[in-house]
């Protein structure tokens, strides 16, 4: 009897204990996004996740499509959710969902048609940039692939055909108005996200280089032909970062840029991003180790020097000069080859390009060694003499201003025996015939300076010029006398032969 009483008491105690244990909440069923849009509860609904209940309008959990993010093993929250409204475990999935949403590209020529979608995408892109900047993103194959896919969907596109050609840009020449992409409000944020992505310190280059591969880089480089200067500026920053971070891609980038330059110089002479590409390479060249590799020397001689040929030189001449100077600063033996290349492409009828060439020559000569300078004295100062005689007063003035540079003057003084005879005749012709008074004054000043440098040589040159002039006058006089003699002989021969009389009828 006591045994049954004890069993009943134990059973009652066990039942009481079990009643105190809270029951597990039933797991909510996944709800599709379409059910939310058509559901009755438009103000929000209750859902329970991890034992915590909260109210949200679009708190929908669904499995990520394997077609978009394969084998992710991650659940993504509806992309219209905010990062602050989801748990930490859901944020990675929400990040992927938002990336997928932003892969959609809209026509910005008709904003009214897709206004709500465009606005949603714009806000989502801003959220993505903020979340990426916060350092909360876990980089793995799925995340990196999703970021690259979103950037590729928005950035990689075919530009419309060009209906105008690049014109020569210089003083007094009007520059065409830049063309601004109507989708820039989205493109700018995508570029910002891409830059922050490749700049992340936590991002392993070995992992990301499988996605930012040669194909991805080549398509980025093709975007430099964009007519929107804002896009080219963003591309310049992104490509510079990629070149610095992924050493394995550096040879490919250099080769791809060389091919773009070759096509521009020798085929089309049309490309909008040559200046930006050269700006990137200006800093790249300054980082080259010495002695320079043969590949780098070939890039100077076969890619950079021929860039002096196109008519649109004015657009990119400043960064081109910087690149050439950087190469010579790295290896002085390249100086004479660079000067000869510049002289090879010297413009004959384009005074604006001549001014640019003279400015570049001055920068090259400033850092040129005496041994390299001596290799090009002949062709260099024959060209300078021609510029001193130019009928375009700005070209003549610029050629005279070269002598105000202390470094150039030092090189001339060390090689005056070879240089003064090359330019003496040009100065004499200027002093006698040049139409511009400013050029005449500069010529007299230069003659005076050269006399002070070596008066004996100047006197010898003057005597040689006088002898040459007298010889030329004598030759011309002999030629004139010979022609007169021939004319008299021909006239006498005609008279002695006689002219048959013409019969007159009438």
One-character DSSP codes across 129-144 = HHHHHTT-----HHHH
H helix or E strand, kind and range, residue 411: helix 406-414
pLDDT at 384: 97
Q: Is the pLDDT of residue 132 over 60?
A: yes
For 24-28, 84-88, 410-414, 472-476, which range has the lowest pLDDT when averaged over its residues? Answer: 24-28
If phi over 0 gives left and psi between -120 and 50 gives alpha, with beta otherwise, what is residue 112? Answer: alpha
Is residue 209 very low, low, confident or very high in pLDDT (cuts 50, 70, 90)? confident
Paired tokens of 66: 């394997």
Q: Please report the sign of the dihedral spanned by the C-alpha atoms of residue 454, residue 457, residue 458, residue 459.
A: positive
pLDDT at 497: 72
Spell out the SS3 assignment of 53-67.
Answer: EEEECCCCEEECCCC
pLDDT at 15: 57
Q: CB-based contacts of 411: which residues, under 8 Å, 6+ apart?
A: 365, 368, 370, 373
Paired tokens of 381: 């100062």
Residue 10, burial from CB neighbour count under 10 angstroms (0-12, 13-18, 19+): exposed
Paired sense of beta strands 45-49 and 75-77, if any = unpaired
Q: Is the pLDDT of residue 476 over 50?
A: yes
Is residue 53 very low, low, confident or very high in pLDDT (cuts 50, 70, 90)? very low
Q: Show the CA angle centred on residue 370, arms to residues 364 and 374, nearest 5°.
A: 90
Residue 219: phi and psi, rounded to 5, are -70, -35
Is residue 466 very low, low, confident or very high in pLDDT (cuts 50, 70, 90)? confident
**Residue range 114-135: mean pLDDT, rounded:** 91
- The better pLDDT of the pair 39, 73 is held by 73
**Residue range 233-256: mean pLDDT, rounded:** 95
- Dist. CA 332–CA 445, nearest whole Å: 32
Average pLDDT, the chain: 83
% helix, strand, coil for the chain, step of 5: 65, 5, 30
Q: Is the pLDDT of residue 324 over 90?
A: yes
pLDDT at 38: 35
Question: Cα(first)–Cα(last) distance of the chain, in Å?
Answer: 179
pLDDT at 178: 80
pLDDT at 182: 87
pLDDT at 100: 93
Q: Is the pLDDT of residue 233 over 60?
A: yes
Q: Is the pLDDT of residue 63 over 50?
A: no
Q: Is the pLDDT of residue 455 over 60?
A: yes
């Amino acid at each position: 009897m006591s045994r049954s009483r004890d069993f009943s008491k134990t059973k009652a105690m066990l039942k009481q204990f079990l009643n105190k244990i809270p029951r597990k909440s039933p797991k909510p069923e996944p709800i599709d996004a379409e059910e939310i849009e058509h559901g009755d509860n438009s103000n929000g609904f209750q859902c329970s996740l991890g034992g915590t209940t909260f109210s949200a309008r679009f708190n929908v959990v669904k499995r990520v499509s394997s077609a978009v993010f394969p084998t992710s093993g991650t659940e993504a929250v509806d992309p219209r959710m905010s990062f602050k409204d989801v748990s930490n475990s859901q944020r990675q999935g929400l990040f992927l969902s938002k990336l997928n949403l932003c892969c959609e590209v809209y026509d910005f020529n008709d904003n009214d048609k897709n206004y709500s979608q465009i606005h949603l995408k714009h806000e989502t892109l801003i959220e993505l940039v903020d979340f990426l900047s916060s350092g909360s993103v876990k980089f793995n194959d799925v995340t990196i692939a999703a970021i690259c896919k979103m950037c590729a969907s928005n950035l990689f596109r075919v530009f419309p055909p060009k209906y105008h050609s690049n014109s020569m840009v210089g003083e007094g020449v009007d520059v065409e108005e830049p063309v601004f992409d109507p989708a820039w409000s989205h493109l700018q944020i995508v570029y910002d996200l891409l830059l922050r992505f490749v700049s992340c310190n936590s991002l392993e280059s070995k992992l990301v280089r499988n996605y930012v591969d040669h194909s991805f880089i080549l398509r980025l480089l093709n975007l430099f032909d964009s007519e929107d200067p804002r896009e080219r500026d963003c591309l310049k920053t992104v490509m510079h970062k990629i070149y610095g971070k992924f050493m394995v891609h550096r040879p490919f980038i250099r080769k791809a840029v060389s091919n773009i330059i070759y096509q521009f110089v020798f085929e089309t002479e049309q490309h909008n991003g040559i200046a930006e590409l050269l700006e990137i390479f200006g800093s790249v060249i300054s980082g080259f180790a010495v002695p320079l590799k043969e590949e780098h020397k070939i890039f100077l001689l076969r890619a950079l020097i021929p860039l002096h040929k196109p008519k649109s030189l004015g657009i990119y001449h400043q960064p081109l000069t910087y690149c050439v100077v950087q190469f010579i600063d790295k290896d002085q033996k390249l100086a004479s080859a660079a000067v000869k290349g510049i002289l090879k492409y010297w413009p004959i009828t384009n005074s604006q390009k001549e001014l640019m060439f003279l400015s570049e020559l001055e920068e090259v000569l400033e850092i040129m060694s005496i041994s390299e300078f001596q290799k090009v004295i002949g062709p260099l100062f024959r060209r300078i003499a021609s510029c001193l005689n130019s009928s375009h007063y700005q070209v003549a003035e610029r050629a005279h201003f070269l002598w105000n540079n202390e470094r150039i003057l030092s090189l001339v003084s060390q090689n005056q025996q070879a240089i003064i005879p090359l330019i003496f005749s040009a100065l004499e012709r200027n002093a006698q015939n040049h139409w511009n008074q400013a050029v005449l004054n500069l010529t007299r000043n230069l003659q005076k300076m050269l006399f002070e440098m070596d008066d004996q040589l100047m006197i010898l040159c003057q005597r040689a010029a006088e002898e040459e002039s007298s010889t030329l006058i004598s030759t011309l006089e002999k030629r004139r006398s010979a022609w007169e003699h021939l004319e008299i002989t021909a006239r006498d021969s005609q008279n002695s032969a006689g002219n048959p009389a013409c019969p007159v009828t009438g």
